[in-house]
Chains A and B, each alone.
Chain A
Amino acid sequence: MALNRMFRACPMTGLKVHEPTEALIKANAVAAVVSLAVGGVLALLITLTRWPAVHLLPPDWFYLLLTAHGLNMLIYWIIFFEVAILYFGSSLLLGCRLATPRVAWFAFWLMVLGALMNNYAVFRGDSSVMFTSYVPMPAHPTFYLGLILFAVGALIACFVFFGTLVIAKEERTYNGSVPLVTFGALTAAIIAVFTIASGAIILIPTFMWSIGLVDSVDSLMYRTIYWAFGHSAQQINVSAHVAVWYTVAAIIFGAKPMSEKVSRMAFLLYILFITIASAHHLLTDPGLTSNWKILNTSYAIYLAVLASMVHGLTVPGAIEVAQRKKGYTRGLFEWLRKAPWGNPVFSGMFMSLVGFGFLGGISGVILGTEQLNIIMHNTIYVPGHFHATVVIGTTLAFMAITYFVLPAIFRREVSFTKMAQWQPYIFGIGMTMLALFMMGAGTLGVPRRHWDISFSGNPMGYEFPGAAYLMMGLASIGGVLAVVGGAMYVLIVVHSVFLGKRIETPGFERVRMREGYAPAMQPSGVALQAHGSAAHHAWAAPGTFTLAVVFLASFILYYFVNWKYLATVWPLK
């Protein structure tokens, strides 16, 4: 049987690797890194333009490149990488052949075509409509068509993932339930299906409008449905990077989830309560009632926020339990101090966790509060917030896992190991500065997507306070630092993949298909006795709990600071 020759045993992880899957993971990861490199160059030019003292680009180029930056980073880099994660989470973790590799390749090339077509539209110069492409501002038809083709490709990739889960079950390559990480990837894929459907519902009519088949697309309808796509897309990222956090905790520490039930329920809450999240982009829009806004922005009493707060405890909690078992038991934080801070897989993941929670999470909930949104909507606070969630949260987590993927999947040693140790710190600190100072400038009213906050030569212009200029300057310094960190990442990855030392292991062997079958499960009577693990009895992770309480205290404090600030502005009804 041909399939027998297509698996190899990975001596590093013990996983049975389906070689067509491996090739697909490589292709998608490469496309992701290429998009990141393009987006990174644009990031540098943009941040140097918003640095008031530098103000590099002319306005037309600024708006063009800002559009391209958003698309290449938020869509192409992240989604190509997520497709790689889906294939990893299904085929590799379950030791199963990938469903229809040829269809997966078709999906990949469709995504590449879509990404190229969309970039072509932007760089033509007549589609500087920003990432959001709000109607009735028109873009070239290939702008929308490119996005649609990419989305169809991504949708096919999701179904390849679902198919692989079915095959794994059918061919009994694992026992019992799928691993937690696979479950997280499944969450991401389910949200992706909803997301892409919403995108199709709005982008297809918009495409038809752009070629003259439809008279007009209502701007409020566009925003409402667009954000069911645009925001849910970020929820895919959250599910994916939380899955990466659990993966890293497992790989580095052998950490066991504190309880499968809690972590899985938290993932489930993402599916159930996130899909209505388009509302918090529409909190100051006319034509929608407050009842609708309140219900939908809080995703029915903030259960998705609850889910993230749960993961924020269970991931470091699992690490703490594992570390304490190894003997790092002194005080509250010895487990954390003795963690492998020099290993970029861990340091990147942990900064992603902390940054996502403290900066991205808190600011996100505050932005998404109906009335508080009035004092922040469309200010640069918004990009400050999402650079904390999507860049510190998602991108940094993906960068961290890359340092595992290089040896495990690409079979290459990581080049420039010293630089790799520094990379997550430089990128993380730069991005933290960028996010924090953008938020600061936003509270002073600095608008997002704006070429000239000095309104030079405009008698009607507004003079922002000096602090706003200072913060925009500091944000840009952070931005430049982050670009340096990003460039280090791209350099390390490209060098490792093409010129890195090949890992040849004596343990390398092809395995036959039937060896993919999982061993029979222990009789459950015996196993049930065994759940008296440390996590279940004692107060197993006091350090993590302390951190969680600090987090909650900052959250509450900052929440009320914002209400206090709101209470001073003009009364509105």
Chain B
Amino acid sequence: MSAIQPPEERVWWKEPIAPIEITWILIAFVWCLFMFIMMPYWHIFGKQNLANEAYRSTPELFTAKAQAMVDKYKVREETEQAIPVVRPPAGSDVYLVARLWQWWPLLELEEGQTYRLHLMSLDWLHGFSLQPENINIQVHPGYEHILQVQPNRAGTYSIICNEYCGINHHTMAAKLYVVKK
């Protein structure tokens, strides 16, 4: 009798389990349990976790907050489109607008400092992808997502979009500068 025929024993659920199977089930179960525990463990002892902080917002409100930050802390402009570069003080709230097909404004952060980074899209879904760190966060319209980030190495980083957002998706990219104090 094989798997394509009804079980030989009418009361198959009373047959003993082969030792090899029960051993493997136990080993696999312990591993599954371990992997489950690893996630709460990292919340307590690990340094890379996502906050549960997010708020409903509107494009107008979020743009206004970002604009206020730009007006206050702009240090220079870059490229022909004169994209502002903002250097907010350490520990402050930093706003990054995602929209078709741009990250706005450009940010300049200090190494080793902690910032409250606010992410939101004004239109469709976008994907915040910080390279070469490879930190990837989903960005929604209408949800202001707040992450506490602590850049730990100075350098020029790129933010690219890794959630498909239409025909110019592949052009959506920005710089993020991390400078020494």
Q: What is A's interface to B at a CB cutoff of 8 Å? A: 59-60, 63, 93, 128, 130, 134, 136-137, 174-181, 218-220, 223, 246-247, 249-251, 254-263, 282-287, 289-290, 294, 297-298, 301-303, 305-306, 309-310, 313-314, 317-318, 365, 369-371, 373-379, 443-445, 447-453, 455, 458-462, 464-465, 518, 521, 524, 527-528, 530-531, 535-536, 539-542, 544-545, 548, 552, 555-556, 559, 563, 566-567, 569-573
A523 and chain B: residue at smallest CB distance: B10
Please give, as numbers and ranges, the residues of chain A lying within 8 Å of B4 by CB-CB distance. 93, 179-181, 246-247, 250-251
Known: A290-B50, A370-B39, A461-B173. A377 touches B6 (CB 8 A): no
Within 8 A of A (CB), among B152-180: 152, 158, 160-171, 173-175
Query: Whole-angstrom distance between the alpha carbons of A365 and B31 in the complex?
Result: 12
B100 and chain A: residue at smallest CB distance: A137
A286 touches B54 (CB 8 A): yes
Query: Whole-angstrom distance between the alpha carbons of A536 and B12 in the complex?
Result: 13
Distance in Å from the Cβ of A392 to the closest Cβ of chain B?
A: 21
Task: Tell me, yes or no, whether B8 is within 8 Å of chain A by CB.
Answer: yes
Task: Tell me, yes or no, whether B145 is within 8 Å of chain A by CB.
Answer: yes
B10 touches A256 (CB 8 A): no
Distance in Å from the Cβ of A417 to the closest Cβ of chain B?
A: 24
Distance in Å from the Cβ of B135 to the closest Cβ of chain A?
A: 6
Residue in contact with B127 in the complex, picked from A303, A314, A377, A555, CB distance below 8 Å: A377
Query: Whole-angstrom distance between the alpha carbons of A38 and B4 in the complex?
Result: 32
B160 touches A218 (CB 8 A): no
30 contacts across the A-B interface (CB closer than 8 A): A181-B3, A219-B125, A249-B3, A250-B2, A256-B1, A260-B7, A284-B50, A284-B138, A285-B140, A285-B143, A286-B144, A310-B28, A318-B3, A373-B136, A377-B136, A444-B134, A447-B129, A450-B169, A518-B6, A527-B9, A531-B16, A552-B28, A569-B134, A570-B48, A570-B150, A571-B47, A571-B150, A572-B50, A573-B51, A573-B147
Please give, as numbers and ranges, the residues of chain A lying within 8 Å of B125 by CB-CB distance. 134, 137, 219
Within 8 A of A (CB), among B43-74: 43, 46-52, 54
Query: Whole-angstrom distance between the alpha carbons of A375 and B28 in the complex?
Result: 26
B49 touches A314 (CB 8 A): no
Interface class of chain B by DSSP: mixed
Q: In the complex, which of the residues A178, A450, A545 has the most CB atoms of chain B within 10 Å of its own CB atom?
A: A450
Distance in Å from the Cβ of B142 to the closest Cβ of chain A?
A: 7
Query: Whole-angstrom distance between the alpha carbons of A408 and B4 in the complex?
Result: 14
A524 touches B170 (CB 8 A): no
Extra contacts, 8 of them, besides A257-B3, A301-B33, A303-B32 (Cβ < 8 A), are A180-B4, A254-B2, A258-B20, A301-B32, A309-B24, A455-B171, A461-B160, A461-B173
Known: A258-B21, A259-B15, A371-B46. A378 touches B134 (CB 8 A): no
Known: A445-B134, A548-B24. A261 touches B17 (CB 8 A): yes
Task: Tell me, yes or no, whether B35 is within 8 Å of chain A by CB.
Answer: yes
Within 8 A of A (CB), among B63-88: 78-79
Please give, as numbers and ranges, the residues of chain A lying within 8 Å of B138 by CB-CB distance. 223, 282, 284-286, 377-378
A137 touches B166 (CB 8 A): yes
A313 touches B127 (CB 8 A): no
Query: Whole-angstrom distance between the alpha carbons of A392 and B1 in the complex?
Result: 29
A220 touches B28 (CB 8 A): no
Known: A256-B1, A256-B2, A310-B24. A448 touches B169 (CB 8 A): no
B28 touches A306 (CB 8 A): yes
Known: A137-B165, A310-B28. A569 touches B33 (CB 8 A): no
Residue in contact with A559 in the complex, picked from B19, B35, B119, B168, CB distance below 8 Å: B35
B117 and chain A: residue at smallest CB distance: A572
Query: Whole-angstrom distance between the alpha carbons of A309 and B161 in the complex?
Result: 35
Please give, as numbers and ranges, the residues of chain B lying within 8 Å of A306 by CB-CB distance. 25, 28-29, 32
Q: In the complex, which of the residues B5, B17, B174 has the most CB atoms of chain A within 10 Å of its own CB atom?
A: B5
Residue in contact with A375 in the complex, picked from B13, B24, B135, CB distance below 8 Å: B135
Residue in contact with B136 in the complex, picked from A134, A218, A378, A453, CB distance below 8 Å: A378
A60 touches B9 (CB 8 A): no
Query: Whole-angstrom distance between the alpha carbons of A93 and B16 in the complex?
Result: 26
Query: Whole-angstrom distance between the alpha carbons of A370 and B40 in the complex?
Result: 9
Q: What is B's interface to A at a CB cutoff of 8 Å? A: 1-13, 15-21, 23-25, 27-29, 31-33, 35-36, 38-40, 42-43, 46-52, 54, 78-79, 119, 123-125, 127, 129-138, 140-145, 147-152, 158, 160-171, 173-175
A371 touches B3 (CB 8 A): no
Query: Whole-angstrom distance between the alpha carbons of A89 and B16 in the complex?
Result: 26
Distance in Å from the Cβ of B152 to the closest Cβ of chain A?
A: 6
Known: A59-B167, A218-B142. A455 touches B137 (CB 8 A): no
B136 touches A451 (CB 8 A): no
A136 touches B124 (CB 8 A): yes
Query: Whole-angstrom distance between the alpha carbons of A218 and B137 in the complex?
Result: 18
A374 touches B50 (CB 8 A): yes
B17 touches A262 (CB 8 A): yes
Query: Whole-angstrom distance between the alpha carbons of A453 and B132 in the complex?
Result: 13
A216 and chain B: residue at smallest CB distance: B142
Residue in contact with A247 in the complex, picked from B3, B144, B163, CB distance below 8 Å: B3
Query: Whole-angstrom distance between the alpha carbons of A445 and B40 in the complex?
Result: 26
B54 touches A262 (CB 8 A): no
Query: Whole-angstrom distance between the alpha carbons of A59 and B9 in the complex?
Result: 60
Please give, as numbers and ranges, the residues of chain A lying within 8 Å of B35 by CB-CB distance. 298, 302, 305, 365, 369, 559
B31 touches A556 (CB 8 A): yes
B42 touches A371 (CB 8 A): yes
B25 touches A262 (CB 8 A): yes
Query: Whole-angstrom distance between the alpha carbons of A245 and B141 in the complex?
Result: 44
Distance in Å from the Cβ of A9 to the closest Cβ of chain B?
A: 16
Distance in Å from the Cβ of B116 to the closest Cβ of chain A?
A: 9
Query: Whole-angstrom distance between the alpha carbons of A302 and B49 in the complex?
Result: 20
Distance in Å from the Cβ of A442 to the closest Cβ of chain B?
A: 9
Distance in Å from the Cβ of A60 to the closest Cβ of chain B?
A: 6
Distance in Å from the Cβ of A321 to the closest Cβ of chain B?
A: 9
Residue in contact with B48 in the complex, picked from A130, A374, A447, CB distance below 8 Å: A374
B133 touches A571 (CB 8 A): no
B162 touches A447 (CB 8 A): yes
The 7 lowest CB-CB distance pairs between A and B, nearest first, are: A462-B158, A286-B145, A250-B2, A447-B162, A286-B54, A302-B32, A573-B148
